[in-house]
Structure 1
Amino acid sequence: MNEQIMRKRRWSATIFLIIIIVVTYLSTQITNFNTLHGIAAVPAAMGWIVSNLFITQESLEQLPEILMQLNETIFMSIAATTTAAVVSIFLGLMGSKTTKVNGLLSGLSRLVASASRNIPVVAWALILLLSFGQNSVTGYLALFVGTVGFLTRAFIESIDEASPSSVEALTATGATYFQIVSKAVVPQSLPQMISWILFMIETNIRSATLVGILTGTGIGYIFDLYYKTMDYNTVALITFSIVIAVIIIELMSNSIRKVIL
């Protein structure tokens, strides 16, 4: 019996690998991508990076401005994530099978989550740019909308994974909906929710850099500014600052996860 299961798994893995190879080949043919040419271009690209993207004494003079814009980007990402989390908790409770009030609200919350999640943050930035112009509000709203979709989906799954026994026990005692949510559902789901919020803060800091290029705000704006003026030394310093900031925030997030999970 075990041998048959292993044979079936090997066949499934083989078929899946063949499908991946075929899809990859078709993709390269449709897009006219030359794999060998791409591989051959790697040494030249690495050489250009080494010879141009390095930090100099002159670029270090721009560090105060870079740090100020980086702080703006980080705090905008945190603000967008935390406010989106509040909305997502409500939508998650309405959309979950465990805590839904009725089918209409459940379907509506899942629809909102799906619509906002499946449109990329960059696309949201371009859409909102037409209405709000190039400012920090546009960047904040783009991150907010995208985060609502992702967190709502994540919160629905976290709530659905909560143990139904405590919910059933409180329901049997005649507890109200809010008592069930606050005493049974949220305590079980809260660690996972916090973990997802921390993950989205990390993700939004990366996304905010690209959004800033479009909206003319934050670290993305000065990255685009110095890149267009071909000041690659300052671009290298900006890139290094972003990488260090993301690593520090990721280490902090991992430490918090170890405590709560």
Structure 2
Amino acid sequence: MDAVSRLDAAVVTCRACPRLVAWREEVGRVKRRAFRDWEYWARPVSGFGPPDAPLVIVGLAPAAHGGNRTGRVFTGDPSGDVLYPALHAVGLASRPTATHPGDGMELFGVRITVPVHCAPPANRPTTTERDTCRPWLARELRLLRPDLRAIIVLGGFAWQALLPVLLAAGWQLPRPRPAFGHGAHVVLGDVRGDRRVHLLGCYHPSQRNTSTGRLTPAMLRDVLWHGAAIAGLPHGQGRGGRAG
């Protein structure tokens, strides 16, 4: 088992945040009517994707009836129904739909993770919960660092959660700190000056953002294509389809 897989196995045992533990388990007991026959995962949800990915996507947290139900990030919820088709269209995923672990989904050169690994009530983690969960993200990015070239950040919460992690990991942040925005692009050097990582902002593919047109599938595909091209992935060499 590689180091990232060991980290993933440790993440799912965490019970550090009492409110999140109580909520994720209550959701798993009560369930949603459409999923009453499911046995909910109801535990922390680890990152998903290869351990040597040069491209990382950082979201917010598992959805109560999505990742908290299926056990895989962005799987079985409306946000995933937007994200995975876009990844597939750019050539970064093996299929456009994500329903459950074991469905055949494979990611190519990209890993998806979150700063908060448990489903929060109303999709709103507290700052204390965010900070308590931070060491998991820090450890994950340290393990990914040798191959890491680009990070796509989905939403302002993830952006603010990620910046302290990057700073602690030795990446240099400009002053003032870069602000989140869709299409934001910041290049960070490390303290030794021999490495760079590209930080790209993208609106979160939440149902609210996609239903209002704030984020369209084309906008999302464009950011994914940009990140894949920066990361040197052959799948990102052609807009709207696979290459390589």
Question: Which structure carries more relative contact order (alpha carbon 8 Å, separation 6+)?
Answer: 1
TM-score (norm 2): 0.24
Structure holding more helix per residue? 1
Larger Rg: 1
